A and B are shown apart, each in its own frame.
Chain A
């Protein structure tokens, strides 16, 4: 911790988009309780969000929203893209918190999401090529597990999954491996929660890992329990490109946290929960899409170089 640094006060690492929140329940073409925690990916120059939408039964489904510039003029689809499928038992109580990656070698998008089963939340996978038809691959790991994303490519001929099993409320980030996307093993702790720190109670992956020349950039959320509830903030880590089980760097400080009214007030107050990121490779601009207070979708922006600098401090 550098107590002499004024830099962070002058220019925060992440900056909020001035028109936040970008999506709220009042933007929705049908009645809903909350819209939050979106997956994000660029498709043919368009930004596509797959938004978690909670209905008034308390169950969630996923709906697409698109924008040309990734910031404004969002077109929300009239109907949900993915609703809980009763033939998949594990989706009994809804589907939540998606992350999307493009798998070049399979030429399809892979969506990891949370299925809320009778046995608790678990991680499921669905594939799509066009965001119209989706093919479910079933559950990848048993409950209680969430906050999962695939790496956007094979590493050493294996698919790699980051996920977050929970035990008695406390949780670390884990990594697992699969030869075929269906059967998973070699489970191990990747990023542990740090007792006493801002990320002491739970940690969980945010958006999918971002490949950079320095390593896999991980944006994660950390939870601290307070007398009035939990506080969800954001930190970063850097993983070895060839062996993502190795952490090269991890920020001591959180780099983004609840501050504005739309993050402080909502169904779950004091939550900033990034689940999608789009990086403009030419400019290095990073758009991070996050759920605010389990109620809205917002954007924070950053420069990729600055994120890596922060990690190397």
Chain B
């Protein structure tokens, strides 16, 4: 019998997945998922999206020494929507990404504020994950799945984000924008397009965790959404952006590299979703923190070297017609 040729398995699920569910929570809530992740002092910090029974989300900090187990959850919500001072947060705050900015010695959090006009991108900053200062709404709706780059380019901050249009044929693509001050943004352009037709990432894509600098450029993990007869499937692909000019897409995987498989990814409030909002590089180990089925938090690990090797085998811009 011939052995079936397998796809490379870049990410491996952690054996004790899911690591966090609502059963772990110190206060009543409906679900906990889509968390940002970063290193703070010697700890792994997750900023988890928590949805209450009204249907609205807030963010809560969770800490662990080893990044895998013994999670300490803040007793109360860490960042609650503040619609009185920030009307754009009226229906909750969601899906954070954290970028540590060395130059500021601060963590910048990009998150979705669910405004009366739809979800939009807001920024906040913190030094200690106890005190947070909001920078306000930085993109009008509908826009989400945003993360800041940790460095400036030609003096300007850069952010990836995903505005959405419902105009037939337009599609939801990953855009890049630039800012002199983190508050006012412009120079908007598409950097990664959703493909068309039968591709796994046709019509709708979005950034997953924040960009990671590798020697080859900026490593991007993004999600592609396939619409099926019974709903959606959220899967992940890799891309590489130019180190100096991050609006330039250098490589992009043809195939998805991680997708819903286990029951905690297959069944939940939104079935068939893996949705990472954070990853941490420790030596060669990459720990990817992702929401499973909009219901729990899970971990998958990878070797950074293997991710780098893989992305460098992906098609280049010469084949860009297949990029949508």
Contact = CB atoms under 8 A, between A and B. Distances in A.
A42 interface: no
A77 B146 CA distance: 44
A275 interface: no
A208 B189 CA distance: 26
A109 to B, nearest CB: 20
A112 interface: no
A166 B165 contact: yes
B163 interface: yes
Chain A facing B: main interface SS: strand
Interface in A178-215: 178-180, 182-189, 192
A141 B136 contact: no
Interface in A50-104: 89-90
B181 A143 contact: no
Interface stretch (A29-37, A127-135, A169-177): A169-177
Interface residues of A, number: 39
A142 interface: yes
B120 interface: yes
Given A178-B184, A183-B185, A119 B170 contact: yes
Interface string A144-186: 1100000000000000000101111101101011111011111
Nearest to A178: B184
Contacts of B186: 138-140, 178, 182-184
Contacts of B171: 118-119
Contacts of A189: 87, 115-117
B140 A163 contact: yes
Contact of A121 (B167, B177, B189): B167
Contact of A119 (B87, B140, B141, B173): B173
A187 B165 contact: no
A142 B161 contact: yes
A188 B163 CA distance: 16
List the 3 shortest-distance A-B pairs measured between CB atoms, nearest first.
Answer: A120-B165, A167-B118, A183-B184
Given A117-B190, A144-B167, A172-B116, 10 more contacts: A119-B172, A119-B175, A120-B166, A140-B186, A142-B163, A166-B165, A167-B164, A178-B186, A184-B186, A186-B136
